[in-house]
C-alpha cells in the first residue's frame, strides 16, 4: 500500500467515525439531552422522561469516538507527511516537462480569467509587480 493510498484509507476511516459520531449525537438529541444533561431528578432517581441507558451509552460512545478521531488525525498527519515528498518529486518532474502548466494541468494561456483589473494605483504593490513583469518580459 502506497503512502497516498494509506492516507486516503485513513480519511475514509475518519469519515466513517464522524458519521457514527453524528448518529450518537442524534440519540442524545432524540432524548432532549446533551453531554452534560443530568440523568437523575432532584431526588436522585433516574429521569422517567428520557431513556437513561441509551443516553449513557451514547455519551460513552461519543467520548470513545472523539478519542479515536483525535488519534486518527495524528496518524493522518504522519501519513500525509509521507505523501508530501513523493508528490513533490512528481510535481517537479511534470514542471520540467511543461513549465507553463500549473497544478491543475492547464497552461497559463488556456486558463480562464477570474478577475478583470480596471486600474492600478501608482506606487502600489500591484504597480510594482506590473513594472517588474514588464522588465522581465522585455
Alpha-carbon gap, residue 22 to 67, rounded angstroms:
15
Q: If we measure between CA atoms, which residue out of 17, 66, 62, 64 comes closest to residue 36?
A: 62
How many CB atoms are closer than 10 A to CB 28?
A: 18
Q: What is the dihedral of CA 3, 7, 8, 13, to 10 degrees?
A: 140
pLDDT, tens digit (0-9, with 9 covering 90-100), for 82-112: 876 655 555 455 545 555 455 555 566 677 7
- Based on the number of CB atoms within 10 Å of its own CB, is 131 exposed (0-12), middle (13-18) or buried (19 or more)? exposed
Bridge partners for 40 per DSSP: 46
Query: Please, are residues 28 and 55 in contact by the beta-carbon 8 Å criterion?
Result: yes
Alpha-carbon gap, residue 64 to 75, rounded angstroms:
17
3-state secondary structure of 114: coil
Per-residue pLDDT of the chain (138 residues; tens, 9 = 90+): 788 888 899 999 999 999 999 999 999 999 999 999 999 999 999 999 999 999 999 999 999 999 999 999 999 998 888 876 655 555 455 545 555 455 555 566 677 777 777 788 888 888 777 766 665 554
The three cell numbers of residue 76 are 493522518
Give the dihedral sign, CA 118/122/126/132. positive
Q: If we measure between CA atoms, which residue out of 1, 20, 2, 6 comes closest to residue 76?
A: 6
Bridge partners for 101 per DSSP: 107
Amino acid at each position: 500500500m502506497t503512502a497516498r493510498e494509506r492516507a486516503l484509507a485513513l480519511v475514509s476511516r475518519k469519515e466513517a467515525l464522524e458519521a457514527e459520531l453524528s448518529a450518537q449525537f442524534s440519540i442524545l438529541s432524540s432524548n432532549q439531552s446533551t453531554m452534560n444533561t443530568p440523568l437523575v431528578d432532584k431526588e436522585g432517581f433516574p429521569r422517567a422522561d428520557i431513556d437513561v441507558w441509551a443516553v449513557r451509552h451514547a455519551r460513552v460512545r461519543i467520548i470513545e469516538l472523539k478519542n479515536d478521531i483525535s488519534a486518527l488525525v495524528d496518524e493522518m498527519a504522519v501519513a500525509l507527511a509521507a505523501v508530501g515528498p513523493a508528490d513533490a518529486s512528481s510535481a517537479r518532474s511534470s514542471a520540467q516537462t511543461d513549465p507553463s502548466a500549473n497544478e491543475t494541468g492547464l497552461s497559463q494561456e488556456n486558463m480562464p480569467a477570474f478577475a478583470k483589473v480596471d486600474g492600478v494605483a501608482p506606487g502600489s504593490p500591484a504597480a510594482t509587480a506590473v513594472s517588474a513583469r514588464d522588465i522581465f518580459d522585455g
